[in-house]
Amino acid sequence: MSFPRLNFLTIDRDNITKSLFPVVGLLLSFIVCGAILPFFNINPFSTYASIFGRAFGTMNGLSETIGAAVPSVIVAIGIVFVIRVGIFNLGAEGQVMFGALGAQIAAVAFGSAPAPVAILLTLLGGMAFGAFWAFIPAILRVTLKVNEIVVCIMLNQVAIYAIGFLVRKPLKDPNDFNAQAVIIPENAWMPQFIENTKIHFGLAIALALIVFIAWVIKRTVFGFRVNVVGASERTAVYAGIPAWRTILLTFVIGGAISGIAGANEVMGIAHRLQATVSGNYGWTGITVAMIAKNNPFMLIIVSVLYSALQVGGLVIQITQHVPMELANIVQAMTVLFVLSSDFLYGKYRQRIDGHAGQSAKPKGELV
């Protein structure tokens, strides 16, 4: 039986070839979309040019791109971690929103503390609320075997309405016409690395999280248990690993990580809770995790490319009248291409080497 592995710094032919797939997939979906766009009277070349011109061409755009990439990287790390235990955390979107809510509450409560303490407490607030929103599907799943996917999707919808209500009524800034919460105290703001940009301390948190989660999976007893449970729950129980507790804990940690992404938005970008705080980062993170799989470097690269698409997508809608949903179509198509190329590569290796290579999906690995 093959174990799911974190391909962290393991270099062999398979891994190098496979790490090219996301780029190839993205190119392919650009080509396919580019072939379809002329039917809608849209010039693909100028559209793509303005997407990337906006996302990477100016300092302002670059700052937007990196600012948007940070939360999707954070969410994606959480997804990758929870997949290890055999669960797909589709509730990331709701957990991001609740993390933002927790950060708002904690920041208002502890904002008078000196900056490092306030930041830490605000982050913890976000983590706690994100973890709580993941605890519901997790506990239902481990005790009653309720399908966590449906519960997660339902809770996403509930979170949208809950946050909508909170920013409209109890948390609303009385001096503001729009439905949004009060601005959090400046002590809880993320310090900016470069003045007046969206490149802030959240970037460091995201990078640290990648290393931390890789370390947990690779080097700790808990990470080992997560891998065993993910490979086979029955084997884990047989080996004396408390499977249900491991699943519960992993799921809740995943929720806490999504909560960090939400807190990061409140503390670094908006400085207040808004109804649109999640910015679809939950779903972007999920797609990033599906493409980049276990490769931490790919996680960063794909996140940046996806955020560039989102940032550029906003611009093409305004300047070229091309709907910004084009970005989402390209993203989703990329996943299909990457996954299919995995399969085709496996077939190809089978023919060349007479064995399946790594194409045979290790048990317990969802993606």
Partner 1 sequence: MSEIITGLFSSMFALCVPLLIAAEGEVFVERSGQFNMGIEGMMVLGAISGFAATLATGSTLLGFIAGGITGGLLAIAMFLLIYKLKLDLLVVAIVFNLLAAGVTGFLATLFINSSSIPVKCNKLTDLHIPFLSDLPIAGPILFSKNYMVYVAILSVPIIAHVLYKRKFGLELRAVGGNASAAQTMGIDVFKTRMKCFLIGGVSGGIAGAYLSLTLGMFVENMTMNKGFIALALCTFSKGKPYGTLAGALLFALADSIQIRFQPIDIDIPYEFLLMLPYVLTVVVLTISAKRSREERKYA
Q: Which residues bind partner 1 (CB under 8 A)?
A: 40, 88, 90, 136, 140, 144-147, 149-151, 153-158, 161-162, 164-165, 168-169, 283, 286-287, 290, 317, 323-329, 331-333, 335-336, 339-340, 343, 361, 366-367
The whole-angstrom separation of Cα 78 and Cα 83 is 9
- Sequence-distant (≥ 6) Cβ neighbours of residue 282 within 8 angstroms: 75, 91, 92, 93, 94, 95, 96, 156, 258
Which of 31/332 has CB closer to partner 1? 332
Rounded to 5 degrees, φ, ψ at 58 are: -115, 160
Compute CA distances 36 → 39, 40, 42, 53, 127, whole Å: 6, 8, 9, 22, 42
- The answer to whether 346 touches 358, Cβ cutoff 8 Å, is yes
- The answer to whether 296 touches 8, Cβ cutoff 8 Å, is yes
Other Cβ atoms less than 10 A from the Cβ of 180: the count is 19
- Computed from CA positions of residues 254, 256, 259, 264, in that sequence, does the dihedral angle turn out positive or negative? negative
Tokens of 133: 């929103």
Rg, the chain, Cα only: 21
The whole-angstrom separation of Cα 338 and Cα 335 is 5
The whole-angstrom separation of Cα 253 and Cα 270 is 25
The whole-angstrom separation of Cα 259 and Cα 265 is 10
The whole-angstrom separation of Cα 236 and Cα 272 is 44
The whole-angstrom separation of Cα 203 and Cα 339 is 28
SS3 content of the chain, % helix, strand, coil (to 5): 75, 0, 25
Other Cβ atoms less than 10 A from the Cβ of 287: the count is 20
70: nearest Cα among 207, 182, 246: 207
